[in-house]
Amino acid sequence: MRFMPILLVAMWMFAATAHAQGEAPEFYDFDTQAEEQRFRGLIAELRCPKCQNQNIADSNAPISKDMRDQVYLLMQSGATDDEIVGALVDRFGEFVKYKPPVDRRTILLWGFPAIAVLGGFMIVAGVVIRSRKQSPEPALSAQEQARVRQMLADKDPSSRS
Amino acid sequence: MKRLMLFLPLVLAVGVGIFLAAGIGKDPTRLESALIGKPVPEFSLANLREPGQTLDQSLFRGEVSLLNVWAEWCPACWDEHEDLMWLANEKGVRIVGLNYKDEREKAFSFLDRLGDPYQTIIYDPRGSLGFDLGVYGAPETFVIDAEGVVRYRHVGVVNERVWEEILLPVINRVEGKS
């Protein structure tokens, strides 16, 4: 019974390695660290057309694997980032870019945050200006103020003779 | 003026409502092909039935065709096959097959069981033409005009309704033009 925990740990380790072997690992060879960084950056900002909320770095759909391979091959052949992204956009459409270009169709998308902030400022400014403009009316009329003074005078013990 | 401002929330709510309602029922997984209006990518692949013969993009010249991307491993391809048989036999549609990331033997056993609606089948075991076409989920069906230009892409199964409502109108439009 003393060996039970050890046995359990051993079983767990075995299961963990078996699980890790379940997915075929992918190896891309890079000459420099910078190249690898560039590759990671590229596959992080390309979107999988099949599993639409994942980038091709995270997705294990076959199409994402093909796209990663293509990115790697194009990188090895000396293509620039724009050329690589362009090659995939030509095949799969603008959809694969997480950052769509600013053009006539996307201007509202890109412009909306600025429009919303501007609109918010205008509303706040409007409210502030309007509240300032209201002439500071005396809270009490002259008659009422006289009454208040009267009442206070009555209550004040020092004024009582 | 103040009174009119009271209607602002209502106007906003209706506007947002219309915008959101327009999105309901749209299937976001169906993407328009990036190749519409562009010629079929260049390729050089074997004929599935005759391994010695090499096919290229000139296959699509001269006649409007459907290019159907299929594979034995693709369950939805089994579903749509009967309708492709119907299109080929009853409607006389020219269907070119693109056997995508499949094995020759499996492809043949699939066709032996379900029939063969294809005029020609391109064998693309590595999915290279599929990749150039932007195929992301078989089955996909492209309408290609007589000049070899991609005119439409349908993602998902083809059935009678898809044919009547989507593909046939596209083909009619394409044939009227070219």
Interchain contact, A91 vs B132, CB within 8 Å: yes
Using an 8 Å CB-CB cutoff, list chain B residues near A70. 131
Mean model confidence pLDDT for chain B: 91
Between these two residues, A34 and A105, which has the higher pLDDT value?
Answer: A34
Give, for B120, the enclosing helix (H) or strand (E): strand B120-124
**pLDDT tens by residue, B94-114:** 999 999 999 999 999 999 999
Phi-psi region of B36 (alpha: psi -120 to 50; beta: other; left: phi over 0): beta
CA distances from A63 to B44, B97, B132 (A): 21, 20, 12
What is residue A21's predicted lDDT score, i.e. its pLDDT? 45
Confidence of residue B142 (pLDDT cuts 50, 70, 90): very high
Residues contacting B47, CB < 8 A, separation 6+ = B53, B54, B55, B120, B121, B122, B123
Interchain contact, A91 vs B131, CB within 8 Å: yes
pLDDT at A7 over 70: no
Q: Is B96 helix (H, G, I), strand (E, B) or coil?
A: strand
What is residue A6's predicted lDDT score, i.e. its pLDDT? 63
**pLDDT tens by residue, B15-60:** 999 999 988 877 777 788 888 999 999 999 999 999 899 999 999 9
What is residue B138's predicted lDDT score, i.e. its pLDDT? 82
Quote ipTM for the complex.
0.77
DSSP code at position B164: I
**CATH architecture observed for domain B30-177:** 3-Layer(aba) Sandwich (3.40)
Asked if the C-beta of B65 comes within 8 angstroms of chain A's C-beta atoms, the answer is: no
Q: How far is A26 from chain B (nearest CA, A)?
A: 17
Burial of B147 (0-12, 13-18, 19+ CB in 10 A): middle
Q: How far is B35 from chain A (nearest CA, A)?
A: 7
DSSP one-letter string for B40-94: PPP-EEEESS-TT-EEEGGGGBSS-EEEEEE-TT-HHHHHHHHHHHHHHHHS---
Confidence of residue A138 (pLDDT cuts 50, 70, 90): low
Using an 8 Å CB-CB cutoff, list chain B residues near A62. 101
Q: What percent of chain A has pLDDT over 70?
A: 78
Query: Where exactly does CATH 1.10.8.640 map onto chain A?
Result: 4-96
Query: In whole angstroms, what is the distance from residue B135 CA to residue A93 CA?
Result: 11
Domain spans of chain B? 30-177
Average pLDDT over residues B133-158: 92
Q: How many CB pairs under 8 A join A and B?
A: 33
Q: How far is B81 from chain A (nearest CA, A)?
A: 22
Scanning A29-106, the segments in alpha helix (DSSP H) are 33-44, 62-76, 81-92
Q: What percent of chain B has pLDDT over 70?
A: 98
What is residue A131's predicted lDDT score, i.e. its pLDDT? 85
Chain A positions touching chain B (beta carbons under 8 Å): 49-50, 52, 62-63, 66, 70, 89-95
Best residue of A54, A66, A112, A127 to probe chain B, by most B CBs closer than 10 Å:
A66
CATH T-level topology, domain A4-96: Helicase, Ruva Protein; domain 3 (1.10.8)
